Structure 1
Amino acid sequence: MLSDLLLLAPAAIIFVILLLLRLRGRATDSVPSEDTAPRSAIIVDGSNVMHWGGDPSLDVLARVLRSLETVGFSPIVFFDANVGYKVGERYYTEETLAPLIGVRFDHIVVVDKGVVADEMILQCATDLGARIVTQDKFRDWRVRFPHAAKKGVLVSGKYTNGNVKWARPLKV
């Protein structure tokens, strides 16, 4: 019996390694890179911004995105895996969200369940040298991602009375 387990152990280890590599690849496959992101890219913490008006709302998020586009930005929006359950009653994919917020599906990333969206947001912003639209300060992540501590990287605002108000004027 013990000899059978010893024979299966290498196969089990290889299986776990391959599974982890596959999951790791899936989490980053759809994240825009320097080669695919527009020069005017700005990262949007969609799961955060959709709360700017109070209850989670894709309409509020869409208005924030239009405000960014008016200034000349090309938003890349990240969501936690549970976004569909926050604004609806089912899982939402990038393709589901695209028409609801008016952004191309390849500029939307819904992270896999169990993946920390903040980490992917910060990694993408660091890789692109881009700003991040959020109310989050990312204090727990600043040692690993010092880009977030740079002046002007974190862009905040609010949504009141049907209008987007930026904490500071925005320029591309």
Structure 2
Amino acid sequence: MMMPAELLILLPALIGLGVLLLLRRRRQSARPDPVIHGPAIPRHAIVVDGSNVMHWGGAASAKVLALVLRALQAKGYAPIVIFDASAGYRLADRYLDASALSPLIGLPAAQVSVVDKGVIADSAILRFAAQHRLRIVSNDLYRDWRVQFPHLRRKGAVLRGRYDAGAVVWNARLKPVRA
């Protein structure tokens, strides 16, 4: 079958574009874990979907997220917060990295991560939680990710809650961790 001359001219460009997209996807999947900047995962760590939890009281609020983090710490957990790249715009109308977000929520920068623009935060959260066998705090149901991350089907894998009348309310009993 003969190709029209226009397609023959475009063919090398299309092949080149396909190769570039393939290399970009491979480079993104080979990135190191974007979350922990310190030497080790804290004992009794729990992953917090920061971009989700900051909306537990309605509008985006660092105060609400900080109160949820304090409630987790009061039960003995060491929260690790992961934000999507746009979180700063919702809180402060500008980009905020981990070192700028950490004082707003009262955690060390080593326990805060902001995924790169274009990276899906859900994927980073779920991959990190699965890799380190950690629970997640979020109201996201992660329905689109259950095949790739089967641990989400386990009862208690995702802790849900809300901020209501000045208090953090958990949808299930949050048990304290044992020392």
Q: Which interval holds the TM-score relative to the shorter structure?
A: 0.7 to 0.9
Bigger Rg, structure 1 or 2: 2
Alpha-carbon RMSD: 2.5
Alpha carbons of 1:119 and 1:53: their partners in 2 closer, same or farther (altered >3 Å)? same
Alpha carbons of 1:141 and 1:21: their partners in 2 closer, same or farther (altered >3 Å)? closer
Contact 1:43/1:133, CA 8 A, preserved across alignment: yes
**Equivalent AA in structure 1 for residue 159 of structure 2:** V
Question: Is the counterpart of residue 158 in structure 1 residue 162 in structure 2?
Answer: yes
**Equivalent AA in structure 1 for residue 63 of structure 2:** D
1:170 Cα shift? 1.1
**Length, aligned pairs only:** 163
1:169 Cα shift? 1.6
Q: In the alignment, which residue of structure 1 is the partner of 2:56?
A: 52
1:109 Cα shift? 1.1
Q: In the alignment, which residue of structure 2 is the partner of 1:39?
A: 43
- Give the alignment of 1:7-18 within 5 angstroms: 17=23
- Give the alignment of 1:48-127 within 5 angstroms: 48-127=52-131
Contact 2:33/2:128, CA 8 A, preserved across alignment: no
Contact 1:78/1:117, CA 8 A, preserved across alignment: yes
- Give the alignment of 1:123-134 within 5 angstroms: 123-134=127-138
Q: Secondary structure at the match of 2:69?
A: helix
**Equivalent AA in structure 1 for residue 167 of structure 2:** N
Q: Secondary structure at the match of 1:170?
A: coil
Q: Secondary structure at the match of 1:81?
A: coil
**Equivalent AA in structure 2 for residue 138 of structure 1:** Y
1:129 Cα shift? 1.1
Residue identity over aligned pairs, in percent, reads 48
**Equivalent AA in structure 2 for residue 148 of structure 1:** L
1:161 Cα shift? 1.0
1:39 Cα shift? 2.7
Q: In the alignment, which residue of structure 2 is the partner of 1:143?
A: 147
Q: In the alignment, which residue of structure 1 is the partner of 2:9?
A: none
1:32 Cα shift? 3.1
Q: In the alignment, which residue of structure 1 is the partner of 2:4?
A: none
| TM-score of the aligned structures, taking structure 1 as reference length | 0.84
**Equivalent AA in structure 1 for residue 166 of structure 2:** G
Hey, what's the Cα distance between the residues in 2 that align with 1:25 and 1:90? Answer: 28
Deviations 1:45-69 (A, max 9, x none): 0000000000000100000000000
Hey, what's the Cα distance between the residues in 2 that align with 1:54 and 1:63? Answer: 14
